A = this chain, B = another copy of it.
Amino acid sequence: MSSTFGKLFTLSTWGESHGGSVGVVVDGCPAGLPLCEADVQKELDRRKPGQSKITTQRAESDTVSFFSGVYQGKTLGTPIAMNVVNQDQRPGAYDEMRDKFRPSHADYSYQMKYGLRAVEGGGRSSARETIGRVAAGAIARKILTLATPIRIVAYVESIHGIRMPELSSAPNEEAVEANAVRCPDADYAQQMYDLIDAVRKDGDSVGGVIRCHVSGCPAGLGEPIFDRIEADLGKAMLSIPAAKGFTVGSGFEGTLLKGSEHNDLFEIRDGIIRTKSNYAGGTLGGITSGEELTFRIAFKPTATILKEQSTVDLSGNPASVIGKGRHDPCVLPRAVPIVEAMTSLVLVDHWMRQHAQNRCFEFQQ
């Protein structure tokens, strides 16, 4: 239940880590959008394993196939099914986990919820599921790029204790992609890289913070009361594996300011209504204000570590486990495209909702 996301532009994902495939079907995509597999592959390549020494070495090309919904290079307006075959399957490698619950993984909670689970690679709880989201997000992003002024950039802001200086607006996309960490500040990126690599050699893991900026977003997106833009973005981000926190604008640090310091005063700038500061992070009352939307997501350190840990087994006996071979010592570099994908999906959906309610009848225009 609930592998579907979105109200008007919806995606439904499927797939276990070591099952036949992972994939997604996108429904509600507008007709007439130019689209080919390369548009999607480009984003999948940013997410795929083995991009550098500091990501998992699982050998997956993550090649996408379209099954439907695209005809002669354009979307039909019908569901677009996209599939990625799982290639590097090592069934035997997970035998030990059949009976033991890996700490801070979902083995135990899946077992309790469903009464059984796909053991290999965590099954459905594997981050491989996010392939479907990135594929769907690539379509959403193409819509935004072609047909709206909205642009999205996410990047790694901190890894463990290393935190780059706060940016006042979105960095250049190229600067983010220029290094394996996806931190736009080259110096900090190097420090982060070195830390991740050291942690990797030690068989341990680290977490950090990803920040995302949405520029060019017009005022008026977001649906009070419950589907506020920050509520829907928050849900989207908190649905990403390993996410433990979400803040918009000033977040928890804003609680240290007084109202007189935190309020964003309106002014006329460049001929339009703007705010002098942006503690709000681009949203007022759940609706975009026209200022840059900006939010952060905390990702915990990867649960898989190559160290022995105590646990219990299915029968409730003490046991120990130790992670094997291929893992990400830090999920953040590969999570950046996932954050961008989910952001794209939320914004396309809200764009459609706002237009449906407030732009589609004659008396509104």
Contact = CB atoms under 8 A, between A and B. Distances in A.
A353 interface: yes
Interface stretch (A55-63, A166-174, A180-188, A296-304): A296-304
Given A14-B68, A245-B245, A252-B298, 14 more contacts: A3-B27, A16-B78, A19-B69, A23-B67, A32-B115, A76-B117, A104-B264, A109-B285, A110-B285, A114-B358, A230-B238, A244-B255, A255-B299, A268-B312
A2 B227 contact: yes
A126 B144 CA distance: 31
Contact of A259 (B71, B109, B219, B302): B302
A70 to B, nearest CB: 8
B235 A226 contact: yes
Contacts of A109: 219-220, 222, 283-289
14 contacts: A4-B4, A12-B25, A31-B364, A113-B220, A125-B286, A207-B254, A230-B238, A232-B235, A234-B246, A254-B300, A259-B304, A260-B309, A265-B311, A360-B360
Nearest to A299: B255
Contact of A258 (B13, B204, B357): B204
A310 B309 CA distance: 58
A250 interface: yes
Question: Copies of this chain, how many?
Answer: 4
A92 interface: no
Interface string A259-287: 11111111110000101000111011111
Contacts of A193: none
Contacts of A68: 14-16, 19-23, 124
A62 to B, nearest CB: 15
B244 A245 contact: no
A352 B363 contact: no
A364 B250 CA distance: 37
A356 B299 CA distance: 31
B147 A361 contact: yes
A114 B254 CA distance: 29
A251 B244 contact: yes
A266 B16 contact: no
